[in-house]
Structure 1
Amino acid sequence: MATSFFLFILTATFSSSILTTVFSFEPAPLQDFCVADPSNLGAVRVNGLACKNPLFVQADDFYYSGLHVAGDTQNSYGFRISPVSVYQIPGLNTLGISMMRIDYALWGANPPHTHPRATEILTVLEGTLQVGFITSDPQNRLITKVLQRGDVFVFPVGLVHFQRNMGLTNASAIAALSSQNPGVISITNSIFGSTPPISTEILAQAFGVDNKIVKLLKKKLTHM
């Protein structure tokens, strides 16, 4: 009986461990916090950054001010991201969250991109945004909606998504992400602006266009 009970506990523990490994994107911290200390190059790193001595941690390690300031949207896409990550708030290290403010000029767009390590939840502060994401192969369905002030929309982890200002004024939003380092892959920049570049012939074949169009796209992206 004792042997059967032990095997049951062992199996349950092993199964729980597998489920935790499969479904957890970032491991749970084993301490209250690990305030990032980039200047401490000799210390053991947690999530890529050294931990500050807890005895020297202050309130400012968990604080940031500035999201009330609109970002400069004078660029070719007409949008600007103001991040709040571990580099703005050192206390975010190991906590598995981050956020950002996104500002959009009239008809400005945050072009198709993906966050490989995070789900994103976006809240519109001002204006009207068209948002959407694309499901994976083979369906490749576009899930899209027009949002107004106060509306919330979720972009599942890893899926290509976008936002565009559809209103008559500037727009802004706050986005929260389920990783302290969500990463971002811009579709156009990755494909046409990689270093070293993907060969023109490969891209021409992939998109069903001639080499001249691919070269034009590469040239435009390097000057944006």
Structure 2
Amino acid sequence: MRIDIITVLPELLMSPFEASILKRAQDKGLVSVHLHNLRDYSNNRYKQVDDYQYGGGAGMVMMIEPIDKCISKLQAERAYDEVIYMTPDGTTLNQGIANELSVKENIIVLCGHYKGVDQRVRDQIVTREISIGDFVLSGGELAAAVLCDSVIRLLPGVLNNETSALTDSFQDNLLAPPIYTRPAEYKGWTVPEILTSGNTPKIEEWREEKALERTRERRPDLLEGKE
């Protein structure tokens, strides 16, 4: 998989991809992440990529020309499955979207900034708009990092235990059940006996029951139409 991220602050995105799982995935050759400074595609010596909005109003708008030049250059080099714009009013990211994107080959992620991008970018260039929640950030860089992390960890070979991702919350529209590790007793707080019984079928049954119970309590909306 190849991910190209377009941003006005590439330095803000360097750290997440230089550590932990995201770095390991790149070192293994499972994904390649490339950062593109939008200012390199500006058409003036001041490297300007934003301007005042037509009709007046507070806040600057990212101009269409630098964005189009950058994306057109990338698309001339290879075919892309998606051109994703990170924006608060996009479709809220969920596990299903992460699963879907994890099987793509090439993705462009455009980070919004200021008041956002010229609407023509959204109408003519972007293929998908994604949000990480109903709140506003200073820019789309951190949201892009979240998106990439959620997708890259699903690629075969990224996690040491490839079945781990399959038991995460939301994979089957259920929250994950409670989990425990050593010691079996601490300050009088004990691990449920079933988990130390060695009875795998009963353990799986217990986990399914607890996952359903937790989902009913915390996210009943995930069960709508299923019960």
TM-score, shorter chain, exceeding 0.5: no
**TM-score, length-scaled by structure 1:** 0.24
**TM-score, length-scaled by structure 2:** 0.23
Instruction: Compare the two structures and name the one with the higher strand fraction.
Output: 1
Instruction: Compare the two structures and name the one with the higher helix fraction.
Output: 2
